[in-house]
Amino acid sequence: MDKYRKLIFKNKILIGKMRTLANKERPTYQEQTRFNSLAAEFDKNEAKILQMQAVKKMQAVTGQRKRQMTLDRREKAAAKSYRNSAAGGAVYAGQAHGKNLYLYEEVPAWVVPPGSLGAADKMLCYCMDDLKLHGLQVRWCNEFEPGDTEKPRLFPGSTTFENHTQINGCIRQQGGAVIDNTIWINFTLDPKTVPRTVAHESRHAYQAIHQKEAVNQELDALTYANQAEKAYQYFKATPGFVNVR
């Protein structure tokens, strides 16, 4: 148990002890002194907890800013190398067959903007109900940091994506099944774009599960996303009904 959780646990115990003393009809001087001592300890712990929460929040914001700056630099470098590659026929490091190579890693939900979490939750509720899908979940990804060994590649080997730009979302499928029942969404998306992306990938999941061979599966997914984006806002569902993490 880390220091933060220990302090929260201690304060829960202190509240119980203070409540017992406060409920006494005629507390003695010693009991009043004891209550004041417990209250002082509680306030001290609470101040530490608030300080830790502020530090965590600041670290999260700083981490997001650093990540976004890195992404911006890489996007510019990728665009430049692609233009050079297309013009001169050269293949640069980080590219394959003239395409920029993007690797991905999972991103924890606590760094995802709350607006994106809520939008993904509601749209997935709608799509699961509308398309009669079960057990799907939304998880979040971002460009892989090659120097960080603690963050393994999310899509290794043959599932590496080669794109001129980063993906907005995707599913991984095998034998008509969606691997891990997961729709992957790029956490850097604008919250307004998240619902449309969730609907698009939900349609791909529907195609995979029901083995629907549309003439153009991508066009089919785009058409469905357009319809879902208009309809889901009127869908009534309890937030948190589906697994968005």
d(CA 101, CA 171): 18
CATH number for 151 = 1.10.10
For residue 224, what pLDDT is reported?
93
For residue 102, what pLDDT is reported?
57
d(CA 74, CA 79): 8
Compare 91 and 235 and report the one with higher pLDDT. Answer: 235
pLDDT tens digits, 189-200: 999 999 999 999
The verdict on 124 and 57 lying in the same domain is no
Work out whether the CA dihedral 211, 212, 215, 218 comes out positive or negative.
negative
d(CA 89, CA 168): 28
Q: What angle do CA 167, 194, 109 make, to 5 degrees?
A: 85
The verdict on 240 and 164 lying in the same domain is yes
For residue 89, what pLDDT is reported?
32
Domain membership flag for residue 124:
yes
The residue range of the domain holding 194 is 103-244
pLDDT tens digits, 32-41: 899 999 999 9
The verdict on 51 and 160 lying in the same domain is no
User: Of 201, 182, 200, which is closest to residue 243 (Cα–Cα)?
Assistant: 182
pLDDT at 162 over 60: no
Compare 64 and 23 and report the one with higher pLDDT. Answer: 23
For residue 26, what pLDDT is reported?
86
Read off the amino acid at residue 159.
Answer: T
Averaged pLDDT of the chain = 76
Domain membership flag for residue 132:
yes
d(CA 229, CA 62): 32
Domain membership flag for residue 237:
yes
The verdict on 178 and 124 lying in the same domain is yes
Burial (CB < 10 A; 0-12, 13-18, 19+), residue 205, is buried
pLDDT tens digits, 66-124: 777 776 666 555 545 544 444 333 322 333 334 445 567 778 888 888 899 999 998 99
Domain membership flag for residue 209:
yes
The verdict on 236 and 137 lying in the same domain is yes
Mean pLDDT confidence for 156-175? 63
3-state secondary structure of 240: coil
User: Could you count the other beta carbons within 10 Å of the beta carbon of residue 235?
Assistant: 14
Q: Which letter does DSSP use for residue 242 in this model?
A: S
In the chain, % of residues over pLDDT 90:
20
The verdict on 108 and 183 lying in the same domain is yes
pLDDT-based confidence at residue 128 (cuts at 50, 70, 90): very high
pLDDT tens digits, 210-233: 876 655 888 889 999 999 988 887
**Total domains, the chain:** 2
Domain membership flag for residue 83:
no
Q: Which residues contact 28 (CB under 8 A, 6 or more apart)?
A: none
For residue 145, what pLDDT is reported?
53
pLDDT-based confidence at residue 208 (cuts at 50, 70, 90): confident
The verdict on 115 and 44 lying in the same domain is no
Burial (CB < 10 A; 0-12, 13-18, 19+), residue 207, is buried
Helices of type H across the chain: 3-22, 29-88, 114-130, 194-209, 217-231
The verdict on 196 and 131 lying in the same domain is yes
The verdict on 33 and 152 lying in the same domain is no
